[in-house]
């Protein structure tokens, strides 16, 4: 049957085993259709049922209000970096500023993409001086965003953009320090939730747009979920590519062209799985428990393992970690750690290639047993090499 490993990848990441088994059982004949979902026409009644149920289940999971559309887009979250600007820029008025809260590589890339398209990008804040190990100071944010709201900083922005969880740097915006609190009510907030989607309840009504790629907490790569308030569909530039146009997707129920049917199907199975497991409130509790175990292991290692991120900014789902000897990262030991871990069935533990070190990603589908296995391995490794 093959061997399952503990997969700590930052994405595509671990899937719930029950979902994989469900898909396996339906591979040759899905719901009496006599075919796999990947063989179905996207216009067939059988696929329509899958598509419709998946959206309904996501709406239930996040209590999405009726005046929000749920769209299935393609091109990854990266395509949305451009789509955000092109859909919201205000009918082509490129002088309208757009505000970006830059807390890591993903919000930085989003800001750069908008800029490349001609946007008047203002970096409300940028934590790159701290190598993205902190979150912006709440008071400074309040001042900046508040001033912009009054038009004091060269005009009111078309939107304020932030990334809820920076996957590479392991920085997460906690609800308590939310950017949301400081944005003027009439300025829509756009949020990239790619890596912490469905890990806690959110108040959708406070956002203009929430989006994320599926390949971390939801399903396979290939589909990006966009949740957008309906009044924001009137603001796009006239020359928007069809594949980035939210209003076109909304008008066509995400079926303007062939959607990523398989990715939508698997995402739908995951939504049902999460609902049955108690919804996002249950995910939040599990997520907190898993993260607490790993951070306790890091903080309790006497400095052998060290998390570079400041406590208040620590992500619950992506945990960067260095092995430190004599006050410096010990790269050779980290390489050894990765090799020995793989031998023990613990894989994808390396940090993003831009930052090095180790990174433990704890998405919804990672069971506590996997976390326990990781912690036991960390202790063993330290005993041997610490």
Residues belonging to the active site: 106, 192, 216
Binding status of residue 199 toward ligand PMP by CB under 6 A: no
Binding status of residue 170 toward ligand PMP by CB under 6 A: no
Task: Please pick, from the candidates 163, 317, 319, 349, the single residue that binds ligand PMP as defined by CB under 6 A.
Answer: 163
Residues 212 and 195: their CA atoms lie apart, in Å, by 7
Q: For 303, left (φ over 0), alpha (ψ -120 to 50), or beta?
A: left
Site string for ligand PMP, 92-121 (x = CB under 6 A): --------------x---------------
Binding status of residue 192 toward ligand PMP by CB under 6 A: yes
Per DSSP bridges, beta strands 305-306 and 224-229 are unpaired
Shortest Cβ 170–ligand PMP spacing (Å): 11
Closest CB to ligand PMP among 76 and 386? 76
- What are the Cα distances from residue 218, in Å, to 16, 215, 252, 300, 361? 9, 6, 23, 32, 14
For residue 17, how many other CB atoms are within 10 A of its CB? 12
Closest CB to ligand PMP among 76 and 356? 76
Binding status of residue 76 toward ligand PMP by CB under 6 A: yes
Shortest Cβ 321–ligand PMP spacing (Å): 18
Closest CB to ligand PMP among 142 and 221? 221
Binding status of residue 127 toward ligand PMP by CB under 6 A: no
Task: Please pick, from the candidates 87, 96, 133, 194, the single residue that binds ligand PMP as defined by CB under 6 A.
Answer: 194
User: In this chain, which stretch among 27-35, 111-119, 146-154, 192-200 interacts with ligand PMP, using CB under 6 A?
Assistant: 192-200
Shortest Cβ 25–ligand PMP spacing (Å): 28
Shortest Cβ 134–ligand PMP spacing (Å): 17
Closest of 11, 65, 67 to residue 318, by C-alpha = 11
Closest of 245, 253, 228, 202 to residue 67, by C-alpha = 228
Closest CB to ligand PMP among 106 and 207? 106
Shortest Cβ 16–ligand PMP spacing (Å): 20
Shortest Cβ 8–ligand PMP spacing (Å): 14
Closest CB to ligand PMP among 223 and 378? 223
Shortest Cβ 195–ligand PMP spacing (Å): 5
Closest CB to ligand PMP among 11 and 188? 11
Q: Are 165 and 196 in contact (CB under 8 A)?
A: yes
Contacts of residue 264, defined as CB under 8 A and 6 or more positions apart, other chains included, come to: 50, 51, 54, 72, 219, 223
Task: Please pick, from the candidates 195, 217, 315, 350, the single residue that binds ligand PMP as defined by CB under 6 A.
Answer: 195
Binding status of residue 78 toward ligand PMP by CB under 6 A: yes
Closest CB to ligand PMP among 86 and 297? 86
Site string for ligand PMP, 340-379 (x = CB under 6 A): ----------------------------------------
Residues binding ligand PMP: what is the number (CB under 6 A)? 11
Which residue's Cβ has the minimum distance to ligand PMP? 76
Task: Please pick, from the candidates 6, 11, 69, 198, the single residue that binds ligand PMP as defined by CB under 6 A.
Answer: 11
Binding status of residue 70 toward ligand PMP by CB under 6 A: no
Residues lying near ligand PMP in the complex (CB under 6 A) are found at 11, 76-78, 106, 163, 167, 192, 194-195, 213
């Amino acid at each position: 049957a093959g061997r399952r490993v503990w997969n700590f990848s930052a994405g595509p990441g671990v899937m719930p085993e029950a979902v994989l088994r469900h898909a396996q059982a339906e591979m040759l004949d899905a719901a009496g259709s006599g075919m796999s979902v990947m063989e179905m026409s996207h216009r067939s009644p059988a696929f329509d049922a899958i598509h419709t149920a998946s959206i309904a289940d996501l709406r239930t999971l996040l209590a999405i209000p009726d005046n929000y559309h749920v769209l299935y887009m393609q091109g990854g979250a990266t395509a949305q970096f451009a789509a955000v600007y092109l859909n919201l820029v205000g009918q082509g008025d490129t002088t309208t500023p757009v505000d970006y809260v830059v807390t890591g590589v993903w919000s930085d890339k989003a800001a750069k993409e908008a800029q490349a398209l001609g946007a008047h990008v203002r970096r409300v804040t940028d934590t790159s001086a701290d190598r993205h190990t902190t979150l912006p100071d709440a008071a400074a944010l309040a001042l900046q965003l508040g001033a912009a709201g009054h038009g004091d900083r060269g005009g009111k922005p078309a939107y304020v953009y932030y990334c809820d969880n920076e996957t590479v740097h392991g920085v997460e915006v906690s609800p308590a320090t939310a950017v949301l609190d400081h944005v003027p009510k009439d300025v829509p907030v756009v949020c990239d939730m790619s890596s912490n989607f469905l890990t806690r309840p959110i108040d959708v009504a406070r956002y203009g747009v929430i989006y994320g790629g599926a390949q971390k907490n939801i399903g396979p790569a290939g589909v990006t979920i966009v949740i957008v308030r309906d009044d924001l569909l009137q603001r796009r530039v006239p020359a928007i590519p069809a594949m980035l146009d939210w209003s076109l997707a909304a008008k066509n129920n995400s079926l303007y062209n062939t959607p990523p049917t398989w990715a939508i199907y698997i995402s739908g199975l995951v939504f049902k799985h999460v609902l049955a497991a108690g919804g996002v409130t249950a995910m939040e509790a599990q997520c907190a428990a898993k993260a607490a175990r790993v951070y306790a292991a890091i903080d309790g290692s006497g400095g052998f393992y060290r998390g570079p991120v400041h406590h208040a900014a620590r992500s619950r789902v992506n945990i960067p970690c260095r092995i430190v000897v004599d006050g410096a990262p010990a790269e050779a030991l980290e390489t050894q750690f990765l090799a020995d871990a793989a031998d023990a069935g613990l894989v994808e533990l390396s940090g993003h290639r831009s930052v090095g070190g180790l990174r433990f990603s704890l998405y919804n589908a990672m069971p506590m047993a996997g976390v326990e296995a990781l912690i036991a391995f960390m202790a063993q490794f330290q005993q041997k090499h610490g």
